[in-house]
Amino acid sequence: MESEATRQPLSAGLYIVATPIGNLGDITLRAIDILARCDGVACEDTRVTGKLMKHLGLSKPLWRYDDHSGERDRARLVESMATRAVALVSDAGTPLVSDPGFRLVAAAREAAVPITTIPGACAAIAGLTLSGLPNDRFLFAGFLPVKDKARGDVLSGLAAIDATLIFYETGPRLTKSLSAIERTLPGRAVSVARELTKLHEECRTGSAEELIAHYEAHPPKGEIVLLVGPPGESEPGDFDIDALLRDALETEKPSQAAARVAKATGQDRKTLYARALELRR
């Protein structure tokens, strides 16, 4: 490989660079090349990116940037892209995927800055490929909300989607999310892909109930991708309508509960409204 001193500088613009999600061997040749030739790196955490640069034997100015960075900082960074090659990285994986960068890319695009992407590791895709769940159609939905009601609402909003669902999750919240999936998306295959590309990588697929039993006995450590298989052919009839209505009735009027469950399951709203009234009694 060329030495840093002999590499040609890059043309000015924004370079979106994916970095590893655990195993440092997963950095691409192109990512190393861009990080070696850029004028500076915009990153979430300068300590995390500093370690990666050190591992690669590279030294570049590191500029802290995340989606909480102010409008003025963003504008300054975009302005600098007129004359400098700026690499955007996140702490791990693909920037913008549940990570900062969306506003920066939108602003750079608006300013007609040349932008290119250097793809690489992404935990959602790594988890999907490992899970054995159908992958012809999938929907990535980021992190589930922390609060029970909001989490249930998001899951019931996704119930009718004919695709594998992918979420990012943390160890302490895993069993709560699995319980919500058991209630809201009954009968689905579920996968927990943990510590991908790292020493203790594991992927477990089963029913939500089986996974709850396992992870209650073995509290999970590390980073997690949680996947839910699509509704099966026979599944529309498998919705636990009463459970969905009861959940919704905890906070909503029967008419609203019926509308929500109708949207999630594709079932008739009037029939659901009648059932909601019965359950309320």
Binding positions for ligand SAM, rule: CB under 6 A: 21-22, 90, 92-94, 97-99, 122-124, 168-170, 193-198, 223-225
197 vs 205, beta carbon nearer ligand SAM? 197
44 vs 252, beta carbon nearer ligand SAM? 44
Write the single-letter amino acid at 154: V
What's the closest the beta carbon of residue 133 comes to ligand SAM, in angstroms?
15
Q: Is 23 left (phi over 0), alpha (psi -120 to 50) or beta?
A: beta
What's the closest the beta carbon of residue 242 comes to ligand SAM, in angstroms?
32
**Residues 6 or more apart whose Cβ sits within 8 Å of residue 72:** none
What's the closest the beta carbon of residue 203 comes to ligand SAM, in angstroms?
10
211 vs 261, beta carbon nearer ligand SAM? 211
What's the closest the beta carbon of residue 96 comes to ligand SAM, in angstroms?
7
User: Which residue lies nearest ligand SAM, judged by its C-beta?
Assistant: 93
What's the closest the beta carbon of residue 95 comes to ligand SAM, in angstroms?
7
What's the closest the beta carbon of residue 277 comes to ligand SAM, in angstroms?
40
21 vs 163, beta carbon nearer ligand SAM? 21
187 vs 206, beta carbon nearer ligand SAM? 206
49 vs 94, beta carbon nearer ligand SAM? 94
